Structure 1
Amino acid sequence: MALTTEEIIEGAFLEVCPPSEAVEWLKRKRESASKTPLLMRDDNKYQEEILYLRNDAFIEFGLARYGVNTDVAQRIYEREHLGIRCTLLFSFPNGGFHSFGDRFLFHTSVPADIQELCALFSNSTLSDNILIKLLERKAPFDFLSDEMFESTIIALAKNPRMSTPYDDTHLDGYSDHTYHKVFSCAWQLAAVVPVTPRWANVLYYLLNACHPARGLDPLEMIRRWYFPTESADQVDAGYFLRSRLADLLKADKALLGASDPALRSSFYRRFRPTDFPSWFKFAESDGDQFLDSALHNPNLWRAETDRETLSRLSWNHPDPRSDLMMVNQFRAVEGRMRQQHPEWFNGDE
């Protein structure tokens, strides 16, 4: 296919421009093409080839960070050092995998180096298929040792894809299914990984950043994550994971009446004050447990009267060390809520 006049002129510019301008050009092209990720690899083939042939280290980094041409990316991956390879895996569309399937395009096999794997699973453009294969430990990721799998899960927890709700602007049943299956596979790890304090921490780190799965009953999973403690009032290693798993349950009277304080904590973080008009009385029966969690309940920050009640409870909370810990915690959360939801505070003086 013949080049357009615009492509010829762009090519001439890219042959002679300073490296910094070449990288800026790549960045602009990547940003403008990001709305059609499946088509990006057909763009800029001629221009990226010109930039690659300049054999400039800064430009090569720009190609790794913003390029979309598979042929160029493969050559860079094969010959370059770990830092550039990680940049490619972190940045390239779908992490260098084929758009439809799980074939890795940069090499004959997927990365086996743990740092490369962590870079790969930090890539926010990975397809649902690739994420599901990892979470289910299926080929091409079935070779991962337990230690490598754990490290990739920690990296995945930082991936914004895991906390981003599905965009249903354009309805697509299959896309909706696979997108939510990623969430489901992540939460279901709590049913299959070894029950150890370390895995309790790793899973909490992942699920605390992960959008809730839908249609999943967490009760059996919750029962797995109890650990013995030396005293009855000591928090065990599974406490925070159980509390996060309980977020899949309704914030109703049954959850409020749970004997496990981890489950009640989940209730206090999520209940609606309109469903429990006398909610402030929870502080009388559950002390620290209630206020520590309720301060982070966004439903209690929407109305001025509920915010005032939270403030009063914080000031009235026992303060044996005179450090005003609850008051300071209230103010810290208030500052965050004002920043995230200024519309809730429009009526405040």
Structure 2
Amino acid sequence: MRSVETFLLEAELLASPPQAVYDWLKERGAKVNRVFDDHGGDEELEEALLARADPLIDLGLARFCVHGSIAKRLFSRALGNKNELNHARALRLAALSNQVLGKSNLFGFPDALFKNEELYRWLEFLRDLLEGNEPWQALSEDGRLASIFALSNNERVRRPYDDTYLDGWDEYMYHGVSTAAWKLAEKVPTTPVRAMSLARLYCSLRRERVLGLPRFIGQICIGILCQWVFSL
């Protein structure tokens, strides 16, 4: 049952201007220290703020929410938004860079996001991430490791490309994701933890076609093992 304080807080925030709500979310996020803290406000409150559909409040939720389900919904909404590209991009980066979730959830974002098979609907984003571009830079070090590990558990990674409907560009982007994943080993810092995460991903990754050199995959596998050994 919700407390009276939470109910009144929700009513106050729903009646507040967007900037005041953003400031409250930011202030609350700075106070979260561990998983079982009393964060101030429950998931129902964040749902109510999300329902306001205000761009600034959405940005604040993406950056400072404490419930992974809210971040995932905002992230998915941003991926599917073709009309407001700049705002959608900001929402994606804000959700990926959310440091509050890492402190307030044992198993939350981005782990659940990257295990979701629907992620492969957005190949351009996934390729951008694995190429080490803007989405990758938005993630914390723990977030990067979590995303690699979670991708290794994504069933979609193990499936071959569905060529029922021939689409040259879609097929190119699909295999481009695999290529970017293999090449990631050349770009990330060499540490045992990274090597283990990448090795797990590579055991799951489809190998039927990679946009690179003929023996590129084998070279990367050897490189990963060498990096792992010499980092110990």
- With normalisation by structure 1, the TM-score equals 0.39
For the pair 1:201 / 2:174, whether they are aligned, the reply is: no
2:66 corresponds, among 51, 75, 82, to 82
Displacement of 1:92: 6.4
**1:120 and 2:107 aligned:** no
Aligned residue number for residue 44 of structure 2: 57
1:274-323 per-position Cα deviation (integer Å, ceiling 9, x unaligned) = xxxxxxxxxxxxxxxxxxxxxxxxxxxxxxxxxxxxxxxxxxxxxxxxxx
Change (3 A) 1:104 1:157: farther
Structure ID, larger Rg: 1
Structure 1 residues 91 and 81 mapped into 2: Cα distance closer, same or farther (>3 Å)?
closer
Q: CA separation in 2, counterparts of 1:170 and 1:118?
A: 31
1:96 aligns with 2:95: no
Q: 1:164 to 1:222 in 2, by over 3 A?
A: closer
State the shift of 1:117 in Å: 3.3
The counterpart of 1:133, out of the listed 128, 136, 150, is 128
CA positional deviation for 1:225 = 3.5
Q: Deviations over 1:232-265 (max 9, x none)?
A: xxxx859xxxxxxxxxxxxxxxxxxxxxxxxxxx
Residue 203 of structure 1 deviates from its aligned partner by 0.8
Distance 2:132 2:229 in 1: 25
Q: 1:182 aligns with which of 177, 181, 185?
A: 177
Deviations 1:11-67 (A, max 9, x none): xxxxxxxxxxxxxxxxxxxxxxxxxxxxxxxxxxxxxxxxxxxxx939x49xx8xxx
Which has a greater percent of helix?
A: 2
Q: Shift of the alpha carbon at 1:96?
A: 2.8
Matches of 1:175 and 1:224 in 2, distance apart?
30
**3-state secondary structure, aligned to 1:110:** helix
Q: Per the alignment, do residues 125 and 223 of structure 1 end up closer, same or farther by CA in structure 2, a change over 3 Å counting?
A: closer
Could you list the runs of 5+ residues in structure 2 that have no partner in the other structure? 1-42, 103-108
- 1:222 maps to 221
Query: Identity across aligned pairs (percent)?
Result: 25
- How far residue 135 of structure 1 moved from its aligned partner, in angstroms, is 0.5
Cα distance change, pair 162–120 in 1 and its aligned pair in 2 (3 A): same
- CA distance, structure 1, for counterparts of residue 177 and residue 52 of structure 2: 26
* Greater RCO (CA < 8 Å, at least 6 residues apart): 2
Name the amino acid aligned to 2:153: K
| Per-residue deviation, 1:99 | 4.4
Following superposition, the deviation at residue 77 of structure 1 comes to: 7.3
Using a 3 Å threshold, how does the CA distance of structure 1 residues 158 and 92 change in structure 2: closer, same or farther?
Answer: farther
**1:162 correspondence with 2:144:** no
Distance in 1 between residues matched to 2:76 and 2:156, nearest whole Å: 12
Structure 1 spans left out of the alignment, 5+ residues:
1-55, 229-235, 239-349
Aligned positions of 1:253-292 closer than 5 A: none
**Conserved? CA contact 1:90–1:123, under 8 Å:** no
Letter in 1 for 2:137: D
Post-superposition offset of 1:212: 2.0
Q: Tell me the number of residue pairs that the alignment of Structure 1 and Structure 2 aligns.
A: 169
Distance in 2, Cα, partners of 1:182 & 1:198: 22
